[in-house]
């Protein structure tokens, strides 16, 4: 069992021993996790753990029952010990059958227990995991396997009677409380196994949430300003553990480390006169190198607006990615595609882990998935000046437009969104705009007649006024200048008039583009 990256209390309860670790870096703990009932009969048993800084160094702990007067250990390397809880250094890596023989005080009888011990570098094979609370539902926990080695099987016990054989399971607890979660792994040969136990605290909903941010001094990587950001109630007690043996009860402490390294910093917060309690831990990088930092971007992928490309933009050497897309689905890819089932706004959560440094970080962004409207071509135009051959065209199309194609009716075209075009001679031109969209995909075309007439002293113009008793009835007033001989009105709803000052009644309150020639 690996304790290097946890500050939680580990308790193996039995009749004869209780072992506690509080972030001291004890290493890999192995043995029989079953509860031993108290009885007078003699029975040999032991547990052991490995020191991570020295993989050949093993601490053995007597877990025998009975009235024991003597202990004899045989380490299968030619050496023995009569201590009750010896520390033994093996000569080399390998597999050893370690035996403990205990002697009863009253009867002199003996009992022997043997176990196959795997002595190897813990970076090659060990069990370890971390977990993350869902920010919306604190009963929902995502477990992340961080074990090392050629692992063939995982077995989880969530401490509430439920279990899983997935590598990275999600578990929903039904009641608040403290649960001991157990992960056991086996290698591909079935020869080696290891297990890890950690405490998971589930608080009530709506949750109180212990949380903090920190800022590293840009010129001194050993100096950190920590800021408490806990929410959910009135804080009556706060406790900081900086992972280097120092603590603080300040609200927003400044801490300077003596040595470079990766430190597990924890905050414990008591809320509302002790009614609620929560803790939060994260690792800080005081080495001066780039820590891991979670970030990502996303982009809707046409022609299907429900498909989203997520691209990780995290910093650092990332070994593990965990995505929660906010719709009940997840991914462990670095840059996943995801297809949502319907439009909506989804809180998307990314967790990253760097196994070498122990750094992990997370970020949440809201992804807005929507169905774009169908494209519809619309445009307007105006003469740049009186008697001009140049016309400014303005795109008014609807939808998410990705392409424009103008045909000016004189043999020339343009792909600009809002082109200005100079005609070479007078006349009536059938100008068409075709718009296209990647969504759907969609294409639509609108054509209109543009008249080029440079006859001097002739300029079209009009004003309009709605009937206050009937807003659908509009009166139009010709304000043109010049020697006008005819008028042609296009009311934009399929109706026309040749009167100078017509009155027109529209069918509804939609917008209409009225043209006057």
pLDDT one-digit tens code per residue, 373-416: 677 889 999 888 755 789 999 998 887 787 899 999 999 999 99
Q: Out of 202, 220, 235, pick the residue that ends a domain.
A: 202
Number of domain units in the chain: 6
Per-residue burial over 66-102, b = 16 or more CB atoms within 10 Å of its CB, e = otherwise? bebeebbbbbbeeeebeebebebebeeeeebebbbbb
Reported as type and span, the H/E element at residue 380 is strand 379-383
Domain of residue 385: give its range.
379-452
Within a domain: 3: no
Give dist(CA 222, CA 287) in Å, integer. Answer: 8
Bond before 441 cis per omega within 30 degrees:
yes
Kindly state the DSSP code that residue 474 receives in the 8-state scheme: E
Measure CA 128 to chain center.
Answer: 21
Within a domain: 509: yes
Residue 366: partners with Cβ closer than 8 Å, 6 or more residues away: 345, 346, 347, 348
Within a domain: 75: yes
Residue 271: partners with Cβ closer than 8 Å, 6 or more residues away: 208, 230, 232, 233, 234, 235, 236, 277, 278
Give how far Cα 284 sits from Cα of 9, 132, 281, 464, Å: 21, 17, 10, 69
Within a domain: 124: no
Bond before 303 cis per omega within 30 degrees:
yes
Q: In the prediction, which pLDDT does 34 show? A: 34
Measure CA 418 to chain center.
Answer: 41
Q: In the prediction, which pLDDT does 98 show? A: 96
Closest among 444, 460, 462 to 452, alpha carbons compared: 460
Q: 97 and 32 share a domain?
A: yes
Q: 385 and 427 share a domain?
A: yes
> Residue 260 — φ and ψ, nearest 5°?
-70, 150
Within a domain: 247: yes
Within a domain: 5: no
pLDDT tens string 97-146: 999 999 987 788 999 999 988 887 655 677 888 887 765 567 888 898 88
Binning the chain into helix, strand and coil, the percentages to the nearest 5 are 0, 50, 50
Give dist(CA 62, CA 122) in Å, integer. Answer: 23
Residues of the chain with pLDDT under 70: 1-40, 51-54, 121-124, 134-137, 191, 203-208, 288-291, 302-304, 356-358, 371-373, 386-387, 438-441, 455-458, 510-513, 515-517
Residue 78: partners with Cβ closer than 8 Å, 6 or more residues away: none
Q: What is the CATH number of the domain that holds 490?
A: 2.60.40.10
Q: 404 and 445 share a domain?
A: yes
Q: In the prediction, which pLDDT does 432 show? A: 95
C-alpha dihedral sign at 320, 198, 57, 30: negative
């Amino acid at each position: 069992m690996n304790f290097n990256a946890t500050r939680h209390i580990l308790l193996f309860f039995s009749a004869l021993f209780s072992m506690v670790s509080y972030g001291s870096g004890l290493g890999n703990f192995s043995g029989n996790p079953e509860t031993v009932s108290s009885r007078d009969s003699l029975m040999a048993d032991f547990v052991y753990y490995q020191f991570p800084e020295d993989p050949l160094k093993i601490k053995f702990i007597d877990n025998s029952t009975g009235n024991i007067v003597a202990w004899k250990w045989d380490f299968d390397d030619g050496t023995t010990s009569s201590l009750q809880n010896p520390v033994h250094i093996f000569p080399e890596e390998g597999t050893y059958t370690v035996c403990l023989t205990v002697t009863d005080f009253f009867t002199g009888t003996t009992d022997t227990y043997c176990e196959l011990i795997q002595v190897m570098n813990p970076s090659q094979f060990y069990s370890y995991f971390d977990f993350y609370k869902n920010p919306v539902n604190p009963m929902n926990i995502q477990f992340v396997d961080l074990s090392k080695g050629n692992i063939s099987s995982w077995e989880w016990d969530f401490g509430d009677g439920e279990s899983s054989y997935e590598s990275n399971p999600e578990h929903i607890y039904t009641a608040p409380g403290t649960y001991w979660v157990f992960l056991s792994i086996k290698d591909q040969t079935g020869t080696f196994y290891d297990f890890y136990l950690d405490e998971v605290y589930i608080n009530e909903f709506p949750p109180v949430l212990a949380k903090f941010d920190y800022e590293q001094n840009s010129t001194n990587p050993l100096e950190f300003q920590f800021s408490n950001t806990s929410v959910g109630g009135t804080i009556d007690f706060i406790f900081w553990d900086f992972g280097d043996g120092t603590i603080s009860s300040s609200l927003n402490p400044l801490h300077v480390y003596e040595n470079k390294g990766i430190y597990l910093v924890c905050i414990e917060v008591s809320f509302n006169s002790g009614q609620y309690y929560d803790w939060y831990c994260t690792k800080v990088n005081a080495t001066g190198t780039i820590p891991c930092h979670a970030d990502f971007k996303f982009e809707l992928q046409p022609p299907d607006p429900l498909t989203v490309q997520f691209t990780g933009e995290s910093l650092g050497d990332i070994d593990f990615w965990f995505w929660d897309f906010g719709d009940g689905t997840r991914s462990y890819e670095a840059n996943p595609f995801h297809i949502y089932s319907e439009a909506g706004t989804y809180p998307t959560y990314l967790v990253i882990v760097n196994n070498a440094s122990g750094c992990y970080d997370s970020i949440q962004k809201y992804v807005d998935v929507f169905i774009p409207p169908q494209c519809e071509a619309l445009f307007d135009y105006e003469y740049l000046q009186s008697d001009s051959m140049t016309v400014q065209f303005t795109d008014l199309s609807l939808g998410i437009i990705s392409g424009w194609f103008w045909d000016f009716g004189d043999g020339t075209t343009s792909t600009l969104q809002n082109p200005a075009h100079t005609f070479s001679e007078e006349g009536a031109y059938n100008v068409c705009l075709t718009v296209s969209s990647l969504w759907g995909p969609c294409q639509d075309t609108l054509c209109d007649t543009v008249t080029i007439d440079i006859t001097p002293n002739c300029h079209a113009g009009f004003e309009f006024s709605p009937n206050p008793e009937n807003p659908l009835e509009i009166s139009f007033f010709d304000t043109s200048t010049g020697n006008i001989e005819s008028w042609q009105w296009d009311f934009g709803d399929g109706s026309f008039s040749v009167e100078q000052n017509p009155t027109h009644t529209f069918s509804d309150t939609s917008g209409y583009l009225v043209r006057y020639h």
